[in-house]
């Protein structure tokens, strides 16, 4: 619904554009209205009094509930036996007794009008979950994701613990360890070793390390290490399972590999040997679908742009050689500039990319 002042401004701008030679339909489409809407404003009082629909007096529908019927609905909903039930259960139970008062939606409307459309019984009202924190990576060593998963042993009830750190931009596994116990000291040591191998101190980088709310990853030992290394901690929202989706997806890839032992690992050395083989395969041999089917190692080293350009040239050559076999454009081999973790909205990502571009131009 467009307000009176906005209507007058739009109508004036469209008139100026039309007098200057612009087509009326194109001018209206540019501001988001139709020619029919503009005509209705001009021929009526739309540009004088505004939209009269909110003030219109509408007749009472012929099929509306009478006051007696509304009271019957309220009386039934407020019976002691229905105190903990929503309308979706009340209406079928009344139907079993041969009584039909109104539909479920009508029950809800009547209860809402009386301020009784709340959670019935002891059920808690839905809680509002804060929006996730959006992290955007445009180069390696900006955003890291980490988590811990259980590796089963051949002995029932025994587990080995696999820690992984993933670079969000390149999807490369930059740090991993397997231990017999889940301890914060292991996590802190892994972070320190990964920071040294990635050279964040020499580069002056301060990556964000995103993880879940597990006690190990939030321990004081780990937080102290992150502070000493200059790494910014980030955590998933409480009781939200998909805020660390990249790490969870990586663990699924690992455990669905054909060489993953279905009966568990015999020893810690066996688990570490499997993890080393998997990390090498994932980083070097695996062609990741999320980064245009280049390997994480290639993208981490900055080699993916040349590879994608060569693929595009090859596809263009094939299309030129046999144009009848191509009904449209060639496959999209454009370089993926930014990777987002938990994007709240597209505008956040767009604004971030604009700021990065301005900084690059200024430099």
DSSP string, 249-315: HHHHHHHTSTTS-TT-BSSHHHHHHHHHHHHHIIIII--BGGGTTB-HHHHHTT-HHHHHHHHHHHH
HSE, CB side, 13 Å, CA atoms: give it for residue 283: 19
Taking 60 as the threshold, does the pLDDT of residue 363 lie above it?
no
Least confident interval from 42-51, 257-266, 319-328 = 42-51
Q: Tell me the backbone φ, ψ of residue 137, rounded to 5 degrees.
A: -115, 125
Q: Which of 81-85, 110-114, 197-201, 284-288 has the lowest mean pLDDT?
A: 81-85
Q: Strand (E) positions, 6-134?
A: none
* pTM of the predicted model as reported, rounded to 2 decimal places: 0.65
CA 321 to chain centre: 41
Residue 89 or residue 279, greater confidence: 279
Split at pLDDT 50, 70, 90, the class of 51 is confident
Write down the domain spans for the chain.
4-55, 67-113, 131-363
Given a cut of 90, whether residue 118 has pLDDT beyond it is no
270 is written with which tokens? 């066996």
Q: Tell me which residue of 211, 135, 136, 137 sits closest to 169, measured CA to CA.
A: 137
Q: Are 259 and 277 in contact (CB under 8 A)?
A: yes
Rounded to whole angstroms, how far apart are CA atoms 141 and 196?
12
Phi-psi region of 170 (alpha: psi -120 to 50; beta: other; left: phi over 0): alpha
Return the closest-CA partner of residue 233 out of 193, 198, 187: 187
Q: What's residue 272's pLDDT? A: 97
| Angle, alpha carbons 187-192-195 (nearest 5°) | 125
Buried b (16+ CB within 10 A) or exposed e, 114-130: eeebeebeeeeeeeeee
The answer to whether the beta carbons of residues 172 and 283 sit under 8 Å apart is yes
Nearest Cα to Cα of residue 113 among 71, 82, 76: 71
Which band of pLDDT confidence, cut at 50, 70 and 90, is reported for residue 353?
Answer: low
- Across the strands, what pairs with 165? 146, 175
Residue 116 pLDDT greater than 70, yes or no: yes
Say if strands 143-152 and 159-167 run parallel, antiparallel, or are unpaired: antiparallel
Distance of CA 79 to the CA centre of its chain: 43
- CA 329, chain centre distance (Å): 29
CA distance 220 to 262: 36
Give the other-Cβ count within 10 Å of 331's Cβ. Answer: 10
Residue bearing the bigger pLDDT, 289 or 1: 289
Interaxial angle between packed helices 104-113 and 67-77, expressed in degrees from 0 to 180 and rounded to the nearest 10: 90
According to CATH, what is the number of the domain 131-363? 3.30.420.10
The per-residue pLDDT for range 199-225, each reduced to its tens digit, is 998 888 789 999 988 889 899 999 999
C-alpha distances out from residue 87 to 64, 68, 121, 127, Å:
18, 19, 13, 22
């Amino acid at each position: 619904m467009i307000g009176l002042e906005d209507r007058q401004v739009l109508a004036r701008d469209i008139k100026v554009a039309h007098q200057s030679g612009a087509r009326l339909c194109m001018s209206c489409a540019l501001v988001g209205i139709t020619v029919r809407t503009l005509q209705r404003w001009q021929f009526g009082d739309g540009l004088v009094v505004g939209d009269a629909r909110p003030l219109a007096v509408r007749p009472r529908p012929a099929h509306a509930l009478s006051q007696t019927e509304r009271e019957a609905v309220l009386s039934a909903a407020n019976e002691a036996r229905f105190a903990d039930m929503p309308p979706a259960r009340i209406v079928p139970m009344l139907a079993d007794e041969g009584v039909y008062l109104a539909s479920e939606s009508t029950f809800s409307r009547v209860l809402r009008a009386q301020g009784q459309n709340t959670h019935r019984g002891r059920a808690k009202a839905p809680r509002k979950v804060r929006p996730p924190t959006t992290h955007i990576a445009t180069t390696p060593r900006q955003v890291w994701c980490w988590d811990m998963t259980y590796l089963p042993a051949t002995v029932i009830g025994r587990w080995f613990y696999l820690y992984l750190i993933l670079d969000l931009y390149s999807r490369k596994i930059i740090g991993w360890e397997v231990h017999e116990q889940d301890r914060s000291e292991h996590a802190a040591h892994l972070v320190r070793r990964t920071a040294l191998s990635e050279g964040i101190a020499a580069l002056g980088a301060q990556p964000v390390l995103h993880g879940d709310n597990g006690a190990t990853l939030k321990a004081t030992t780990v937080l102290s290490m992150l502070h000493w290394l200059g790494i910014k901690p980030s955590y998933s929202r409480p009781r939200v399972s998909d805020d660390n989706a990249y790490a969870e997806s990586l663990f699924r890839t690992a455990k669905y590999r054909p060489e993953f032992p279905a009966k568990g690992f015999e020893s810690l050395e066996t688990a570490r040997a499997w993890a080393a083989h998997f990390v090498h395969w994932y980083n070097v041999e695996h062609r990741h679908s999320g980064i245009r089917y280049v390997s994480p190692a290639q993208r981490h080293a900055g080699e993916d742009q040349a590879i994608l350009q060569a693929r595009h040239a090859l596809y263009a050559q094939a299309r030129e050689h046999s144009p009848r076999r191509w009904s449209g454009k060639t496959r999209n081999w454009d370089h993926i500039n930014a990777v987002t973790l938990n994007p709240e909205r597209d505008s956040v990502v767009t604004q971030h990319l604009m700021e990065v571009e301005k900084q690059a131009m200024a430099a």
